[in-house]
């Protein structure tokens, strides 16, 4: 399969990219930092004829999204799986924050998924197959007072996910929302000495792999993954 993953250079996106490459898929990977993507590509073991393309992309900018999507189509052909993973978290209380705290998270957490959906969704519908994974958050369904703007954008992303699902399911395209709880990524480094207590990025990658391995008509609408020990 040909799989496009956004925000692939670190954390959850990186774990998904490594897992998908291990399973023999062709990958189109984007993030803002091309050096991080080059490092990731050098770490991935690929088989003969397996392709991995990388490019810097600000996923909250429509022209960047369209340019990267075009590059992916030219290099790989049709995209079978889209993983809208890119996201940003800026902790703050809404009453105390500058307005750009909401706007910057809105661009990355919501508009990126909106733009990639519009760039790839119609092709999937025409092909009568495809799978879109939207990496949302437990903040999509739970209120975290120290992350007000983040909760707003992730709730909006889950709503967008649900709209996607209803728009494309009649064409045989699946849409799955993934809602991780506190997941140990670089954002937590230095803040805790018990990373093993968190959800691991590999857990998300494994869940996506298992979902892709299900039969044609099996449909997983939502996956919630939380830690037993760490509050989200």
Q: Residues 98-134: pLDDT tens digits? A: 989 999 999 999 999 999 999 999 999 999 999 999 9
Residue 222: strand pairing partners: 177
**Integer-rounded Cα radius of gyration of the chain:** 17
Q: CA–CA separation, 142 vs 220, rounded Å?
A: 21
- Phi/psi-derived region of residue 172, left when phi > 0, alpha when psi is between -120 and 50, beta in every other case: left
Residue 6 and residue 84 in contact, taking contact as beta carbons nearer than 8 Å: yes
Question: So what's the architecture of 2-225 in CATH?
Answer: 3-Layer(aba) Sandwich (3.40)
Q: What is the per-residue pLDDT for 212? A: 96
Asked if 3 and 28 touch (Cβ cutoff 8 Å), the reply is yes
What pLDDT is attached to residue 227?
A: 85
Task: Write out residues in the chain with pLDDT < 50, as ranges.
Answer: none
């Amino acid at each position: 399969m040909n799989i496009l993953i956004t925000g692939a250079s670190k954390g959850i996106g990186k774990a998904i990219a490594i897992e998908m490459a291990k399973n023999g898929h062709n990958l189109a990977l984007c993030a803002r930092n091309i050096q991080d993507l080059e490092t990731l590509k050098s770490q991935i073991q690929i088989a003969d004829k397996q392709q991995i393309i990388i490019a810097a992309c600000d996923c909250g900018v429509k022209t960047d999204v369209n340019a990267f999507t075009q590059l992916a189509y030219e290099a790989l052909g049709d995209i079978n799986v889209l993983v809208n993973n890119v996201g940003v978290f800026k902790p703050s209380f809404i009453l105390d924050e500058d307005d750009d705290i909401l706007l910057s998270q809105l661009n990355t957490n919501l508009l990126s998924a909106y733009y990639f959906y519009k760039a790839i969704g119609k092709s999937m519908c025409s092909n009568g197959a495809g799978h879109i994974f939207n990496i949302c958050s437990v903040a999509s369904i739970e209120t975290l007072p120290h992350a007000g703007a983040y909760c707003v954008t992730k709730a909006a992303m889950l709503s967008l996910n649900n709209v996607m699902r209803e728009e494309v399911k009649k064409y045989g395209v699946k849409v799955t929302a993934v809602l991780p709880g506190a997941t140990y990524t670089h954002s937590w480094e230095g803040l805790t000495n018990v990373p093993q207590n968190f959800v691991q990025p590999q857990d998300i990658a494994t869940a996506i792999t298992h979902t892709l391995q299900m039969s044609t008509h099996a449909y997983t609408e939502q996956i919630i993954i939380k830690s037993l020990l760490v509050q989200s």
